[in-house]
Amino acid sequence: MVVAIVACEIGFWVLLVAGLAARYLLKARALSAVLLVSVPLVDVALLAFSVIDLRRGGEAGVGHALAAVYLGVSVAFGHRMVRWADERFAYRFAGGPPPAGPPAKGTRERAVHERRSWVRHLVAYGIAVLILGLFTLLIGDADRSAALWSVLRVWTVVLVIDGLVSFSYSIRRPL
């Protein structure tokens, strides 16, 4: 499963860079659109690999759990990553405006930005939980699927810490 995750991550970036190169360097808007629309298919492929592996009796483990984490993060943050790359590509190769950074620290805008980022993190977590639930149903045995849920212990701690940090911007700078 780890190989599938790495392959999908590479596929994500290859399709993204190819789509942006087609758009800005080749001026091939149609090709660019096809490549960029294909980026989410990488996630579909990873989900399919995971489901097929589990349906064939593969041992549920950390690799499957990491696939769920990858899918959650990809769905929740994928659009933002594509936009981030597009802004930089446009600036570097097409004379676009310089990419804007995050709002200045200590501002209301920064507090809003940090809270929104945490909510996106929470959405990624929720999507991963749903996928882990799907995997557990596919396995049909709570004992065999216990390893899937172990990853959430660490991620829950990370999510709570991220929430505390993100909302600390609101405490320092009122809503």
Structure token pair of residue 31 = 């090709």
| Confidence label for 59 from pLDDT (cuts 50, 70 and 90) | confident
Q: Is the pLDDT of residue 103 over 80?
A: yes
152, pLDDT greater than 80: yes
Is the pLDDT at 4 greater than 80? The verdict is yes
Two tokens, residue 129:
């939980």
Residue 142 confidence (pLDDT): 83
**What region does 100 belong to: left with phi over 0, alpha with psi -120 to 50, or beta?**
beta
Structural domain tally of the chain? 1
The residue to which tokens 């483990």 are assigned: 61
What are the backbone angles phi and psi of residue 79, rounded to the nearest 5°? -60, -40
* CB 173 within 8 Å of CB 113: no
CA–CA separation, 33 vs 40, rounded Å? 12
Q: CA separation (Å) from 87 to 74, 76, 97, 125, 132? A: 19, 19, 8, 27, 34
pLDDT class of 165 with cuts at 50, 70, 90: very high
CB-CB contact of 164 with 120 (8 Å): no
Query: Can you give the pLDDT at residue 173?
Result: 53
Kindly state the DSSP code that residue 106 receives in the 8-state scheme.
T
Which residue has 């995750």 as its token pair? 5
The per-residue pLDDT for 174 is 52
* Tens of pLDDT, residues 62-77: 999 999 999 999 999 9
| Predicted local distance difference test score (pLDDT) of residue 159 | 98
Domain with 40 in it: 2-172
Give the list of residues 6+ apart from residue 94 with CB closer than 8 angstroms, or none. Answer: 24
Q: CA-to-CA distance for 152 and 65, rounded, in angstroms?
A: 8
Q: pLDDT class for 40, splitting at 50, 70, 90?
A: very high
Question: For 104-130, what is each residue's pLDDT tens digit?
Answer: 988 899 999 999 999 999 999 999 999
| Residue closest to 136 by CA, chosen among 126, 149, 150 | 149
On whether the CB atoms of residues 113 and 103 are closer than 8 A, the answer is yes
pLDDT, the chain, mean: 92
**pLDDT attached to residue 172:** 64
